[in-house]
Amino acid sequence: MISFKLILFIFVYGIIHVNGICDSQTGPVGSIECSSNDDFTKKQWNTCLTNNYIQRHSQGRQKCADGNNYCTYACMPEAYYVEAGDVVDTCACNDSLIPPVSSLPTECFSPDGSNCDWYKSCLERKYSCEGTSTEYLLIYTKIFCNLFIKYKNVFTDRALRWIDDGRKCLQMALVQFVRPFINGTCQAIDDAASDAFKSCNLQPYPQQGSICDITRRDWLRAFWMMKFEYNISISTAAYVWLQKALETFYECQNDPQVNDFGHVYQEFKLTMDLIQTSWNNQINLNKDQFDQIAIDITHRIAKFLNASPEQWGWYGYGVTLAQQRSNTVYKQMTIVLLVADLSGIVNNTLIPPVNITNIKFNELIEKFKNALIKGDLLIQNDNGTFYASQMGHCMDMKCHATIENISAPPYGSKNDARRNKIYVTGTRQLAVLILI
């Protein structure tokens, strides 16, 4: 049989004759050969894959010749996105080497990106990344992938195109790691996903769906549905990928947008006085670490307000940490805090009406404001002690402007009367209320 090679626009890989290695109509997927490719200095491993996978992975730059269903895809273009030049040791081979064999099932090697179980059945079978940052990546990719399946009837066609193209694109960026000749690391997987994340959301191949094409209603639904899927006891570090998605969506919105979903969704800018912290110098903390602190504080506030996670969505991220002492004496950090009525987000009550009153949601927001006005939001956790001293009610969905700015009593005066004071405290995973 003839092993058909790829057409790289005007470059054509040489055709290598190997019996039965990759039939143009039947494959088999995952079979490997050591062969030469035009424009490369050495022989390299080539894998028999579907034309659909090759086009998606290369974002249309490469495809099988003559419209064939299967052909071989060289290691360098797949693993390193390099189409000419030297061959790295990972990809290099010679005729004396026996092609490596994988114990993974065939469907692992050339997925179309729609199987959300691929991460568990394939990638996680080869790599054990529990306890690393890659564990959080895999949590997000599975949650995002399943949006298309679990909530397909909720989204508009444009949103479904974004979710479908985005989930396939993210999976394509990681398939290389299941090749038997690639022994990657959890960090390498995390890095590959980070490199692909923004383009997979903004311009996924074949560019039928982009996060910038969806409505704010679809975005609110996607964001809060994903947030809801996170276990409340999970580490705050797990939210780093959800935060990346939020920041990517905000890149699409050049101008502040009035929040016309106020009956089910509100944003606040919360100023936290840093009474005592576990770090010596704030500049040693990166943005991800500040975001984790913000999420932890947000969850503790929700716990203090007895806001059921089944009914109300709470999320927060860090904005700035003042370098100079404020008029409250203490240094400060700023949190943007998001609150949502989850049932309203999912069903048709999310459609902005002319006049609507969401009594329970309004009561929760007022309870939140009153707790700050009374000086009751003193948060203690593994990171230190934080006091909510000011709050601004955001007018838009990026919180460029605030209204109804309110303040708490100065921490010192409130702290003098420690009797009956409620602290929100405990470990990062569980908030506990203590009366002292």
CB-based contacts of 175: which residues, under 8 Å, 6+ apart? 53, 57, 108, 109, 110, 111
Rounded to a whole number of angstroms, the CA Rg of the chain reads: 26
Assess if residue 343 is contained within a domain: yes
What tens-digit pLDDT sequence spans the chain (436 residues)? 434 344 333 233 333 323 338 999 999 999 999 999 989 999 999 999 999 999 999 988 999 999 999 999 999 999 999 999 999 999 999 999 999 999 999 999 999 999 999 999 999 999 999 999 999 999 999 999 999 998 888 999 999 999 999 999 999 999 999 999 999 999 999 999 999 999 999 998 877 789 999 988 899 999 999 999 998 778 888 999 999 999 999 988 665 566 778 889 999 999 999 999 887 666 567 888 889 999 999 999 999 999 999 999 999 999 865 444 555 678 889 999 999 999 988 776 655 555 677 889 999 999 999 999 999 999 999 989 999 999 999 988 788 888 889 999 998 755 554 433 444 444 433 333 333 3
Domain match, 187 and 298 both: no
Q: Domain ends where: 76, 93, 110?
A: 93
In a domain, 100, yes or no: no
> Same domain for 123 and 197?
yes
Asked whether residue 429 falls in the same domain as residue 284, the answer is yes
Among 368, 85, 311, 135, residue whose Cα is nearest residue 235: 135
Domain membership of residue 260 (yes or no) is no
Same domain, 383 and 428: yes
Residues 124 and 226 in one domain: yes
Is 103 part of a structural domain of the chain?
no
Which of 192, 227, 252 delimits the end of a domain?
252
Does 285 lie in the same domain as 344?
yes
Both tokens assigned to 156: 């508009």
Of the residues 252, 280, 312, the one at which a domain ends: 252
Same domain, yes or no, for 65 and 130?
Answer: no
Residue 380 lies in a domain: yes
Q: Are residues 18 and 148 in the same domain?
A: no
- The pTM score is 0.85
Q: Are residues 150 and 210 in the same domain?
A: yes
Query: Is residue 308 in a domain?
Result: yes
104 domain residue, yes or no: no
- Do the domain assignments include residue 108? no
Domain span at 369: 265-435
How far is it, in rounded angstroms, from Cα 66 to Cα 212?
Answer: 35
At 170, list the tokens.
């993210």
* Pair (217, 142) in one structural domain: yes
Question: 44 and 148: one domain?
Answer: no
User: 281 and 238: one domain?
Assistant: no
- Give the chain's domain count: 3
